[in-house]
Amino acid sequence: MRVAGFVEESIVDGPGVRFVVFAQGCPHQCPGCHNPLTWDLEGGKDATIKEIIRMIKKKRKNIRGITLSGGEPFLQAPEMVLLAQKAREIGLDVVTYTGYTYEELQQLDLPGVQELLDASDILVDGPFLIEQRDISLSFRGSINQRVIDLAGTKATGKLVLIA
């Protein structure tokens, strides 16, 4: 998979201490994005799931879960699904960030999208909108973005928001 990089211990990318994987490539290119170096599809570097899991396992005692951020993780959904599943196998939860809305993801014709939603516990959705920026929000940068409980959403058939 193509990655921009990693943060081994983050407290701002989901609940608890998290290992963050930044996907390389983003079609949204939101003005004011805090990760513009992740936009270029050809940028970043290659990393295997095995290499990433090895890094995660070294931090396992210190982290609650992994966060898939970007760039846009859903551009590499099949690889991200495998990574998320491996993380869950070792007892970690999964938060996935996306510039798409949940509703757009339901219509998106890319392989692995539904599987990545199924492998994620929390989805932070929507593009960053600089005119709606709010630094007081937990785990997101603008008020249009939502923190979605995916298990609750699947169980009820209605969008269940966490914050």
Q: What pLDDT was estimated at residue 131?
A: 97
End-to-end CA separation in angstroms for the chain: 31
pLDDT of residue 69: 97
φ/ψ (deg, to 5) at 102: -55, -45
Q: Which helix (H) or strand (E) holds 153?
A: helix 150-156
Mean pLDDT in residue range 123-142: 96
If pLDDT is split at 50, 70 and 90, which confidence band does 38 have?
Answer: very high
- 122 pLDDT more than 90: yes
Orientation of helix 49-59 relative to helix 77-89, angle to 10°: 30
Res. 163: pLDDT tops 80: no
Q: Is the pLDDT of residue 134 over 90?
A: yes
Sketch out the chain's domains with CATH numbers.
2-156 (3.20.20.70)
Residue 29: pLDDT band (50, 70, 90) is very high
Helix/strand/coil for 58: helix
Question: What pLDDT does residue 140 have?
Answer: 95
- Quick check: 12 pLDDT over 90? yes
> Is cis: bond before 71, omega within 30 of 0?
yes
pLDDT in tens, 85-110: 999 999 999 999 999 999 999 999 88
Tell me what pLDDT residue 152 has: 96
pTM: 0.95
